Amino acid sequence: MAELKLTDVAKAYGPVKVLSDINLEIERGELIVFVGPSGCGKSTLLRMIAGLEKISGGELQIDGQVVNNVPPAQRGIAMVFQSYALYPHMTVRENMSFALKISGKSKDEISQAVNRAAKILQLEPYLDRLPKALSGGQRQRVAIGRSIVRDPKVYLFDEPLSNLDAALRVATRIEIAQLKEQMPDSTMIYVTHDQVEAMTLASRIVVLAGGGIAQVGTPLELYERPENTFVAQFIGSPQMNLLAGKVVGTGAQTRIALPEGQGTILSNVPTRDSDMGAEVEVGIRPEDMIQTGGPDYAYSGVVEIKEALGEVTLLYFKKQQPEHDPVIAKLPGIHTGVRGRTLKMTADPAKVHLFRNGQSLLYRT
């Protein structure tokens, strides 16, 4: 049985619909990441699961029980917020004990729970310190510790790293991944707008956009087989190049002609006879672009901007139309003297995505 089941869940503030048709099952032990652009409803969805926000439509089940009208404290859920407020006059141990003391647990139970949490979070050396004597990352761990001691069924995290600087973000991200490994049976839902956090932490990612779910899948499923152009461009950086094209050969492999004096390219996405001549969008990730000298190229353009990052070089090609995004290639290593040159690019047919009206042809029924 799913730990968490959302059926047709919807949220509206008065006439303003924020979310609709949210259908999702989360199994015990999963680390699910909700990702999406700012304002797409990630926090709202998390707060509905926590019970801090009323559900306008549909049904939410936790552990087989409908909880739409169950108050937050009785849902077996712990939420770790963006800004973590620790009690400044209490030690780490007291901060972590507080909720259990209030709920009348015995001294032994409390000390057992706190010691377990401190061990998982590597906070044992700091139990007698005050929060002011801790680093930002350690304070964040104490905040997480306060939820662990309550042994909830589901942990909810709303952008817990967004207050940390870049280096600490990476370190804490790795700590959260390790924390999850030490608690294999706990279910976690983690909200972020950062696709790198989503890719590195999630067992499955839920991409939210336009008031609904754009796709649910493992990180690599979303990267390798995005269902639509939104997910295709949201996952991966720089974003996937999308080029308008026309199908000129169908079958197990598809040949697409790109316009404006460009070449043609093969894709392993199969097409039917009836697709001949169809307008499609060809998706190629910058890292899948290959420079070619041969006559069989897909795209030819003038390199306008170069960004040398050492391990890779980003090439931005001159735009054909002012309203288009520039085509970007991410080539391994260092490339000198390419600015202003015309380069011909192609890609492995296995790495060429095809979309029609924004939907991947891979998932067509």
Indicate the residue among 5 and 47 with the shorter CB distance to ligand ADP.
47
Indicate the residue among 52 and 164 with the shorter CB distance to ligand ADP.
52
Considering only residues 31-90, where is the footprint of ligand ADP by CB under 6 A? 36, 38-44
| 160: contact with ligand ADP by CB under 6 A | no
Indicate the residue among 191 and 222 with the shorter CB distance to ligand ADP.
191
| 140: contact with Mg ion by CB under 5 A | no
Report in angstroms how near the CB of residue 155 gets to Mg ion at its nearest.
17
Indicate the residue among 212 and 249 with the shorter CB distance to Mg ion.
212
Report in angstroms how near the CB of residue 331 gets to ligand ADP at its nearest.
34
CB half-sphere exposure, 59, CA atoms < 13 A: 9
Q: How far is CA 224 from CA 29, 117, 236, 360, in A?
A: 24, 37, 10, 12
**Which 3 state secondary structure label does DSSP give 126?**
helix
> Which is nearest to 132 in space by CA: 90, 80, 175?
90
Point out which span in 7-15, 42-50, 142-150, 240-248 binds Mg ion (CB under 5 A). Answer: 42-50
Considering only residues 204-243, where is the footprint of ligand ADP by CB under 6 A? none
Indicate the residue among 34 and 316 with the shorter CB distance to ligand ADP.
34
As a dihedral over the C-alpha atoms of residue 282, residue 288, residue 292, residue 294, rounded to 10 degrees, the angle is -50
> Which partner from the list ligand ADP, Mg ion, none does 166 bind, CB cut-off 5 to 8 Å by kind?
none
Q: What is the DSSP string of 253-269?
A: SEEEE-STT--EEEESS
Report in angstroms how near the CB of residue 337 gets to Mg ion at its nearest.
45
Indicate the residue among 207 and 315 with the shorter CB distance to ligand ADP.
207
**Which 3 state secondary structure label does DSSP give 187?**
strand
| 18: contact with ligand ADP by CB under 6 A | yes
| Residue 65 CB neighbour total at 10 angstroms | 11
Per-residue b/e over 167-199, b at no fewer than 16 CB within 10 Å?
eebeebbebbeebbeeeeebbbbbbbbbbebbb
Point out which span in 10-18, 105-113, 171-179, 315-323 binds ligand ADP (CB under 6 A). Answer: 10-18
Among 31, 34, 43, 113, interactor with Mg ion by CB under 5 A:
43
Torsion over CA: 146, 148, 152, 158 (sign): positive
Question: Looking at residue 280, what DSSP letter applies?
Answer: E
Binding site for Mg ion (CB under 5 A): 43
Binding site for ligand ADP (CB under 6 A): 13, 16, 18, 36, 38-44
